Chains A and B, each alone.
Chain A
Amino acid sequence: QSALTQPASVSGSPGQSITISCTGTSSDVGSYNLVSWYQQHPGKAPKLMIYEGSKRPSGVSSRFSGSKSDNTASLTISGLQAEDEADYYCCSYAGGSTNWVFGGGTKLTVL
């Protein structure tokens, strides 16, 4: 099972919005509404930001939102802030013998 496809890097200025895409297949992203997104700062553990494609855990800013269309999921961060600078990973349940598959990660730079 190949990893989900994410852009290696995205950037934006404070206050702007950015979107990170996550492309899978009909066997993972396209089959299940079970995409999650994680934020990871350098040297830190990942943090759950979005689950079931668009739901935010308690405590996660409303500036973070998620969506899905066919085999592609997206994470949008609005009103960019300096502390949003981090690596972001998507993940999808894929069932069968694959179980869970992550994207390769996207480095967000806040200019």
Chain B
Amino acid sequence: EVQLVESGGGLVQPGGSLRLSCAASGFTFSIYWMHWVRQAPGKGLVWVSRINSDGDSTTYADSVKGRFTISRDNAKNTLYLQMNSLRAEDTAVYYCARGTRAYAFDIWGLGTMVTVSS
């Protein structure tokens, strides 16, 4: 079964750091672009970041640029999101998603909640 499972979310104070993980299974992880998409409570989806299949090309939304780092370990079939200098507005459910050649997202994880609060 094709599956993505996020982990690593939790409560963190403003200015703190958190690393999210996304474990992939059921498909050849190493050939796909991967993404992080977030959704604040009661709000819409927002694209956060993308990494290519080799891990040597990354892009970010302006709102997280310089604070978040996306990475991957193809040997472990795992995607990561290192989040530093967290702000209250980063509070959201973070989804990892598989990218398609048509620049869509065809497989999504269940998400992991990140709460930034003192």
A103 x B47 contact (CB < 8 A): no
B35 cross-chain contacts in A, Cβ below 8 A:
100
Q: Using an 8 Å CB-CB cutoff, how does the interface string of B57-90 with A read, 1 for contact, 0 for none?
A: 0010110000000000000000000000000000
B11 part of interface (Cβ distance < 8 Å): no
Q: Count residues of chain B with CB under 8 A from any CB of chain A.
A: 22
A52 cross-chain contacts in B, Cβ below 8 A:
102, 104
B102 x A89 contact (CB < 8 A): no
How far does the alpha carbon of A65 sit from the alpha carbon of B37 in the complex, in Å?
24
B108 x A101 contact (CB < 8 A): no
B61 cross-chain contacts in A, Cβ below 8 A:
99
B45 x A105 contact (CB < 8 A): yes
A-B pair number, CB within 8 angstroms: 64
Please provide the chain A residues from 22 to 77 with a CB less than 8 Å away from any CB of chain B in the complex.
32, 34, 36, 38, 40, 44-48, 51-52, 55, 57
Q: Count residues of chain A with CB under 8 A from any CB of chain B.
A: 27
Main secondary structure of the interface of A (DSSP, over half): strand
A47 cross-chain contacts in B, Cβ below 8 A:
108
| CB contact under 8 A between A34 and B102, given known A97-B62, A99-B59 | yes
B102 x A46 contact (CB < 8 A): no
Most-contacted residue by chain A among B35, B47, B100 (CB, 10 A)? B47
B37 cross-chain contacts in A, Cβ below 8 A:
46, 102
